């Protein structure tokens, strides 16, 4: 079985290769390094053996009879018990397009044939280290919730961490490696690879920031000093950058900002909260949908911020439930959207710490979320 954190057993590696000499050679090499090895001749054989004895890592060829490497990964992803198992492709396909396709398909690394055994060993060790780190983080997150349902939540966290942490990390590393080692025909082609790496890095940074924020919140560490907020500089520029993640959806983002009055809030915390509210609107909006952001400053530093989208909306019975920590993950491993289900939790915590709130309003179409920041009181700390 897949090793739990703290298990002293050596990791299990499943080697999937239709060429017997390569399969036997890899098996012998990994065994000498202390790994427990299972071998399979093709993707169908690998699926059967992985279900019987879930591995810690799969090293798979791509071009194989019956079920090839790409189809193997799809079927692994469809199985909640195997979706989070890391996979390294081992293939004679050497083009940049093949490598990018493999990583985008969910692989954790891509090694080309003929391969150097020392390099492959280093990549195996690196992927296993990352997987151990994800398991530890999953356990740490799970400890933050009540013991009731803890095991179920822990399993769901582990299954989804593949997409939430490892996928953007792999994209950063792989695309930067391509930029560093490949020659590009045009500068624009190189810039596109850098853009993808940067976007994946932003996604990973957002997740880490959320975890740090929740840790501070649980420890009662929170900044309530209110500063001047310039909507264009501190909010809209960042929201437009976040919107670039959803370029394929062709969304229409409409900010409506009143110029009357001024807004004061802890800058980093407010931006973090509003970013989550807007990101939810972008995420759940249909293609070509419209997202409207309205900001109306109060008389003494307060504000009302409303975000409307044209997505599926939230049923009235769930309008409080969605603010619970990890709510989205609790929908199970087949959930459609990315994220750990922390956005609304964080946004409400920020505004409530300032005496305000975040609520979901009635809406004829889509979802309408309103965040209220109260005006400053005499005793409130502020500057700027």
CATH of the domain at 59: 3.40.50.2300
Residues 236 and 336 in one domain: yes
| Last residue within a domain, chosen from 172, 187, 216 | 216
Q: Which long-range contacts (CB under 8 A, 24 or more apart) does 4-7 make?
A: 4/135, 5/132, 5/135, 5/136, 5/139
State how far the alpha carbon of 20 is from the alpha carbons of 16, 30, 63, 162, in Å.
Answer: 10, 15, 14, 30
Residue 32 in any domain: the answer is: yes
Residues 170 and 313 in one domain: no
How do the pLDDT tens digits run along the chain, 384 residues long? 444 433 446 889 999 998 888 888 889 989 988 899 999 999 999 999 999 988 999 999 888 888 888 889 888 888 877 888 889 888 776 566 666 666 666 778 888 777 778 888 888 888 888 777 666 655 555 555 544 454 555 555 555 555 566 667 777 777 777 777 777 777 887 887 787 777 777 777 777 777 777 777 777 777 788 889 989 888 999 899 889 888 889 999 999 998 777 899 988 889 989 999 999 999 899 999 999 999 999 888 999 999 999 998 888 888 888 888 766 534 444 444 455 567 888 899 999 989 999 999 998 889 999 999 999 886 665 665
Choose among 118, 126, 49, 40: nearest CA to 88.
Answer: 126
Structure letter (DSSP) for residue 164 = I
Q: What is the pLDDT of residues 48-85, one digit of tens each?
A: 999 998 899 999 988 888 888 888 988 888 887 788 88
pTM of the model as a whole: 0.55
Structural domain of residue 174, as residue ranges?
A: 12-216
What confidence score (pLDDT) does residue 298 get?
87
Residues 189 and 238 in one domain: no
What confidence score (pLDDT) does residue 331 get?
46
Per DSSP, the three-state class of 368 is strand
- Tally of domains within the chain: 2
State how far the alpha carbon of 194 is from the alpha carbons of 6, 187, 319, in Å.
Answer: 37, 11, 39
Residue 257 is encoded by which pair of tokens? 């900002």
CATH number at residue 327: 3.30.565.10
Residues 42 and 139 in one domain: yes
Residues 182 and 251 in one domain: no
CA 192 to chain centre: 21
In contact, 246 and 283? CB cutoff 8 Å: yes
Residues 52 and 154 in one domain: yes
| Last residue within a domain, chosen from 185, 216, 247 | 216
Residues 164 and 234 in one domain: no
What confidence score (pLDDT) does residue 77 get?
81
Per DSSP, the three-state class of 326 is coil
């Amino acid at each position: 079985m897949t090793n739990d954190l703290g298990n002293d057993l050596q990791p299990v590696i499943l080697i999937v290769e239709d060429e017997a000499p390569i399969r036997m050679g890899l098996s012998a090499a990994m065994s000498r390094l202390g790994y427990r090895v299972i071998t399979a001749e093709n993707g169908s054989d690998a699926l059967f053996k992985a279900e019987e004895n879930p591995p810690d890592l799969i090293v798979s060829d791509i071009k194989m009879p019956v079920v090839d490497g790409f189809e193997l990964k799809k079927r692994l992803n469809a199985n909640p018990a195997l979706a989070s198992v890391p996979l390294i492709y081992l293939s004679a396909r050497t083009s940049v397009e093949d490598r990018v396709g493999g990583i985008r398909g969910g692989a954790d690394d891509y090694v080309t044939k003929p391969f150097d055994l020392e390099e492959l060993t280093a990549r195996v060790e690196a992927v296993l280290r990352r997987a151990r780190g994800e398991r530890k983080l999953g356990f740490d997150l799970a400890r933050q919730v009540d013991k009731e349902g803890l095991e179920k939540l822990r399993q769901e966290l582990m299954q989804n961490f593949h997409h939430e942490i490892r996928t953007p990390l792999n994209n950063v590393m792989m695309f930067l490696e391509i930029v560093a080692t490949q020659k590009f025909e045009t500068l624009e082609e190189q810039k596109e690879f850098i853009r993808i790496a940067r976007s994946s890095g932003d996604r990973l940074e957002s997740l880490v920031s959320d975890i740090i924020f929740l840790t501070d919140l649980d420890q009662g560490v929170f900044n309530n000093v209110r500063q001047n907020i310039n909507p264009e500089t501190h909010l809209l520029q960042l929201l437009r950058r976040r919107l670039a993640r959803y370029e394929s959806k062709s969304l229409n983002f409409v900010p409506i900002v009143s110029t009357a009055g001024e807004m004061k809030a802890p800058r980093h915390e407010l931006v973090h909260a509003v970013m989550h509210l807007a990101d939810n609107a972008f995420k759940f909006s249909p293609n070509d949908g419209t997202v409207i952001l309205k900001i109306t400053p109060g008389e003494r530093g307060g504000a009302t911020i409303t975000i409307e989208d044209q997505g599926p909306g939230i049923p009235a019975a769930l309008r409080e439930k969605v603010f619970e920590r990890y709510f989205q993950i609790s929908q199970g491993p087949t959930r459609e959207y990315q994220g750990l289900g922390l956005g609304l939790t964080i946004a409400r915590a920020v505004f409530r710490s300032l005496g305000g709130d975040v609520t979901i309003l009635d809406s004829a179409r889509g979802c309408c979320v309103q965040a209220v920041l109260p005006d400053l009181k005499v005793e409130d700390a502020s500057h700027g």
